Amino acid sequence: MKKKKLHLVCISDVHLGTYGCRAKELNKYLKSIDPEILILNGDIVDVWQFSKNYWPDSHMKIIQRILKMLANGTQVYYLTGNHDEILRKFTDFKMGKLEILNKLVLNLDGKKAWFFHGDVFDITMKHSKWLAKLGAVGYDTLILLNSAVNWISKVLGRGKISLSKNIKNGVKSAIKFVSDFEQTAIEIAIEKGYDYVVCGHIHQPQMREVKTNAGSTIYLNSGDWIENLTALEYDNGKWEIIHFHETIDTIEDLVDQIEDELNENSNFNPEKLLQTILK
Nearest to 182 by CA among 115, 121, 106: 121
Name the phi and psi angles at 221, rounded to 5.
Answer: -135, 130
Q: What is the pLDDT of residues 13-53, one digit of tens each?
A: 999 998 889 999 999 999 999 999 999 999 999 987 777 78
Share of the chain above pLDDT 70, in %: 67
Predicted confidence band at 181 (pLDDT cuts at 50, 70, 90)? confident
Amino acid at 279: K
**Looking at the DSSP assignment, which residues form a beta bridge with residue 53?**
none
Predicted confidence band at 180 (pLDDT cuts at 50, 70, 90)? confident
Q: What is the pLDDT of residues 48-95, one digit of tens each?
A: 777 778 899 999 999 999 999 999 999 999 999 998 989 999 999 999
User: For position 131, what pLDDT does the model report?
Assistant: 43
Spatial neighbors of 252 by CB under 8 A, at least 6 apart, are 1
Homologous superfamily (CATH) of 4-278 is: Metallo-dependent phosphatases (3.60.21.10)
CB neighbourhood size of 180 (10 A): 13
Reduced to 3 states (helix: H, G, I; strand: E, B; else coil), residue 236 is coil
Domain residues of the chain, as ranges? 4-278
Structure pTM? 0.74
Per-residue pLDDT averaged across 137-155, rounded?
57
Q: What CA–CA distances, in Å, run from 242 to 109, 199, 222, 224, 225?
A: 21, 15, 9, 11, 12
Residue 149, pLDDT > 60, answer: no
Most confident of the ranges 94-98, 157-161, 246-250: 94-98
Q: What is the pLDDT of residues 110-130, one digit of tens each?
A: 999 999 999 887 554 444 443
Instruction: Tell me how many degrees the CA angle 43-270-34 measures, rounded to the nearest 5.
Output: 50
